[in-house]
Chains A and B, each alone.
With several copies, the nearest count.
Chain A
Amino acid sequence: MSKKILLVSRHAPYGSSTAREAIDVALAAAIYDQDIGILFMDDGVFQLLKDHQGKYINQKNIDSMLSALALYGIEKIYVHQESLDNRTITTNELILDDLQLLNSIDVGHLLSQQDQLLSF
């Protein structure tokens, strides 16, 4: 009963709990052995920046939660290139290495090839 599931994470970290609670869903999907991928786009790409210091606002670091994705066996991590470009973020500023950069058309294709989408 395993399905191809993509989690779409579009919100900035810290200002709201959406980014954090989306990661929890990705990790749960990995634990339950689903075929899960995760796509970061729009302000969601800010989650991938290095050097978060959540302690300054009494929150846990989002970037270290994201580092757990690989430990949980989540290998399909996609990033919308235009979202990075608009924010003048380069890939060497990002916490994760094994990212697949997608243009907008590729994102549309990726969405259309899933069995389920989890929108955050």
Chain B
Amino acid sequence: MSTLHTINKSPYAHNALSSCLKVCAMNDGILLLEDGVFGALISAPGAQELQILIKHGANVFALVNDIKARGLEEKVAPDIKLIDYNTFVQLTLDHRCVQSWY
């Protein structure tokens, strides 16, 4: 079964996302939240790897409340799905475990 990875740190400032990307499997999920949503920008460090993962079947999500709070709605990279807290709960059920990268 697969793992849900949550990342709550900006990839411009911290290594949380890049570390996650090293071990993330193709059928895993990645959820960007809090300052982690800066990783949803098209030009963010790790953005290319995220797009490659998505092409290979991984699901990448970002908490829409955190995106809106930071004024990033128009800047999110393609195929990153914006979700609410209810869907966050559902994602934890769809995956076996949650690894929080912070």
Q: Do chains A and B touch in the complex (CB under 8 A)?
A: yes
Residues of A with Cβ closer than 8 Å to B?
A: 8, 10-16, 41-43, 46, 49-57, 59, 63, 80, 82, 86-88, 104-105, 107-109, 111-112, 114-117, 119
In the bound complex, CA of A102 to CA of B13 (Å): 20
Given A12-B35, A111-B3: A87 and B41 within 8 A (CB)?
A: yes
The residue from B13, B15, B66, B99 contacting A57, defined by CB atoms under 8 A apart: B66
A117 touching B98, Cβ below 8 Å: yes
The residues of B that contact A105 with a CB separation of less than 8 Å are: 23, 25
B43 touching A119, Cβ below 8 Å: no
Interface 0/1 of B1-43, CB less than 8 Å to A: 1110000111011010001001111001000001110100111
B22 touching A82, Cβ below 8 Å: yes
Nearest chain-A residue to B14 (Cβ)? Answer: A43
Given A42-B15, A52-B71: A88 and B41 within 8 A (CB)?
A: yes
A56 touching B97, Cβ below 8 Å: no
In the bound complex, CA of A29 to CA of B38 (Å): 30
B55 within 8 Å of A (CB atoms): no
How many chain B residues sit at the interface, stated as a range, is 35 or more
A101–chain B nearest beta-carbon distance, Å: 14
The residues of A that contact B19 with a CB separation of less than 8 Å are: 10, 41-42
A15 touching B43, Cβ below 8 Å: no
B13 touching A119, Cβ below 8 Å: no
B50–chain A nearest beta-carbon distance, Å: 15
A118–chain B nearest beta-carbon distance, Å: 9
A59–chain B nearest beta-carbon distance, Å: 7
A33–chain B nearest beta-carbon distance, Å: 21
The residues of B that contact A115 with a CB separation of less than 8 Å are: 96-97
A117 touching B97, Cβ below 8 Å: yes
A107 touching B69, Cβ below 8 Å: no
B66 touching A14, Cβ below 8 Å: yes
A104 touching B23, Cβ below 8 Å: yes
B55–chain A nearest beta-carbon distance, Å: 18
The residues of A that contact B24 with a CB separation of less than 8 Å are: 108
B70 touching A116, Cβ below 8 Å: no
